[in-house]
Amino acid sequence: MKAFLFPGQASQYVGMGLDLYREFPIAHDYFDRANAILGFDLKDACFNGPEDKLVRTEYTQPAIFVHSVIVNEILRESGQRPQVVAGHSLGEYSALVSAGVLTFEDGLRTVKLRSQLMQQCCDRYPGTMAAIVGLSLDQVKDIIHDIDGVVPANFNSPDQVAISGSKEGVGIACEKLKARGAKRAIMLAVGGAYHSPMMTDAKEGMAGHLNILEFNNFDFPVIANVTAEPITDPFTMKMLLMEQIIAPVLWYPTLQRMISLGITEFYEIGPGKVLQGLLKKSLREHQYKAFGADKVADIENLLGARV
């Protein structure tokens, strides 16, 4: 059994999608449709950057979403179908398109609104995130509990937890965590304090949109960030998407849940290799295969050059 995994923010890079655009007509179509929906040149942002532009939330989220959906569609047309999907934060919307729940257009419009609302929060409440390596979730919680406004944001692997909050608070937390045994504290290339109370305004702004958004039936389950459980009910998924904006991403529990469902093959669909790295850290005691589908060469390898 196979699962498709869709990356979130911090997976972007300048040049993303360019080789897909050159090789596959479907990439032309999706980028052109995206430009019309977004009202700006997403191709230029993806292909040429610069990096300080691409890292801004209103560019990052549509870029990763469109890239991931293009790769998913190429694999789908070639007969590749997962039994379950999940996406890391933003990637949850790519997963919903893969599962047939959202159309590309509705998904991108939703991502556009989400990115705008979150960017407004970033501008209003400047913040950041950091990855803490070498401590458990409970240890991180215990050490940072008295640092105002800093919270665990992503439970990525047994010994990697991302924290989120004000720039000053995250800086203080990083020093405190390193002093208490963290091997590393890595500042992330993100534009704000995602999955924290600093995103509450974005959550409230998304509620009205999600409530009226049409969800189709699920072709296969989506494992939700907030609960790490498979979801096939549209109403439940909408509620979890709202909560996801301020709640921690339970990625390590998500991978464990997939293993319990019998998944033995994991495919990272979209830019970068972040999720493949988390697989190695999270599933050391399990037998599985991991693949990446980012560039043309990756897709050719997956499909045996039948593209």
Parent domain of 180:
127-187
Domain edge (last residue) among 135, 159, 187:
187
Give all strands (DSSP E) within 151-213, no chain letters: 151-157, 160-166, 184-187
Non-local CB neighbours of 85 within 8 Å, separated by 6+ positions: 3, 4, 5, 6, 95, 98, 99, 220, 221, 222, 223
For residue 248, give the nearest of 118, 125, 152 by alpha carbon. 152
Domain edge (last residue) among 163, 187, 211:
187
Q: What torsion, rounded to 10 degrees, do the Cα atoms 195, 243, 106, 28 define?
A: 20
| Average pLDDT estimate for 58-64 | 95
Mean pLDDT of the chain: 95
Confirm whether 272 is domain-assigned: yes
* 156: helix, strand or coil: strand
CATH at 133: 3.30.70.250
Q: Are residues 78 and 209 in the same domain?
A: yes
With 80 as the cut, is the pLDDT of residue 305 above it? no
Q: Are residues 206 and 84 in the same domain?
A: yes
| Average pLDDT estimate for 119-147 | 95
Domain edge (last residue) among 187, 209, 232:
187
Phi/psi at 258 (nearest 5 deg)?
-65, -40
Confirm whether 307 is domain-assigned: no
Query: Do the Cβ atoms of 239 and 132 come closer than 8 Å?
Result: no
Q: Are residues 291 and 230 in the same domain?
A: yes
**pLDDT class of 180 with cuts at 50, 70, 90:** very high
With 70 as the cut, is the pLDDT of residue 204 above it? yes
**pLDDT class of 306 with cuts at 50, 70, 90:** very low
Q: Are residues 242 and 226 in the same domain?
A: yes
| Average pLDDT estimate for 159-178 | 96
Q: Are residues 150 and 253 in the same domain?
A: no
* Bridge partner list, 8: none
CA distance 122 to 172: 19
Out of 89, 164, 166, 196, which one is annotated catalytic?
89
Confirm whether 153 is domain-assigned: yes
pLDDT of residue 56: 87
| Average pLDDT estimate for 181-206 | 93
**pLDDT class of 304 with cuts at 50, 70, 90:** confident
**pLDDT class of 307 with cuts at 50, 70, 90:** very low
With 70 as the cut, is the pLDDT of residue 224 above it? yes
Confirm whether 72 is domain-assigned: yes
CA distance 279 to 133: 15
pLDDT of residue 87: 98
Out of 88, 195, 196, 282, which one is annotated catalytic?
195
Q: Are residues 240 and 219 in the same domain?
A: yes
Confirm whether 102 is domain-assigned: yes
| Average pLDDT estimate for 33-43 | 97
pLDDT of residue 235: 95
Catalytic: 89?
A: yes
CATH at 72: 3.40.366.10
Q: What is the pTM of this model?
A: 0.94
Q: Are residues 90 and 154 in the same domain?
A: no
Query: Do the Cβ atoms of 88 and 275 come closer than 8 Å?
Result: yes
pLDDT of residue 57: 86
Q: How many domains does the chain have?
A: 2
Catalytic: 136?
A: no
